[in-house]
Structure 1
Amino acid sequence: MVRGIRGAITVPANDGDLMVEATERLLAEMIKQNNIDPETVCSAFLSATNDLDAMFPAKALREQAGWEYVPVMCMQELAIKGGLERCIRIMMHVNTDTPQKKIQHVYLEEAVVLRPDLQKSTN
């Protein structure tokens, strides 16, 4: 069965190194909390708000060992007035037998405001 696993993190500034660091941190936490093996990942979509254009967040995922063949796509998040700024989001599609209610969605830094009802991560 395929399940979606969500994650989001904010970045302090539009800086490529900070974006890579944040994306790697978010990915690591998603992997840890959901026991993800890249062989079980069908695809991953990454988005960034329009104020983050220093690099493609997907680059950070592609450079992780074992993730070279996972289909990854980057896109720009909708620019909604009053929306969360400097935010990178991941939607990962994973083959798993884990029930939907047991999937651990990960929200770090200021992104905890996006889904406080699902918040189980620590900053």
Structure 2
Amino acid sequence: MSATILIADDEPNILISLEFLMKREGYEVRLARDGQEAIDAILAHRPDLVLLDVMMPHKSGFDVCQEVRATESVRDTRILMLTAKGRDTDVAKGLALGANAYMTKPFSTRELVEKVREMLER
């Protein structure tokens, strides 16, 4: 059975390209277009990994991460934050709130695929 990845991003072009990339790598993919959709999808489908944008409507990626870590049933969900917010303070905040890893946009697709594979093998 292939791993399931939830991609949470409010930018349609990023959703489409990441969905294509992850499906090409053999993963099952679910999509969320804002922070609340991401929370709902995590609770309903328990993905193996979440690719989480920080700046989204309704709830930020930081809010989503914090809520996931505070919810017993999904607390161990692996989270990779993908964001344009690359200042050291943003990275530190994401990791402090429980993200397993943090990549800043733009990123190379090869690096992303390697990071996803590494996170799913842990």
What TM-score do the two structures reach when normalised by structure 2?
0.34
User: Which is greater in Rg?
Assistant: 1
TM-score, L = length of structure 1: 0.34
Which protein has the bigger helix share? 2
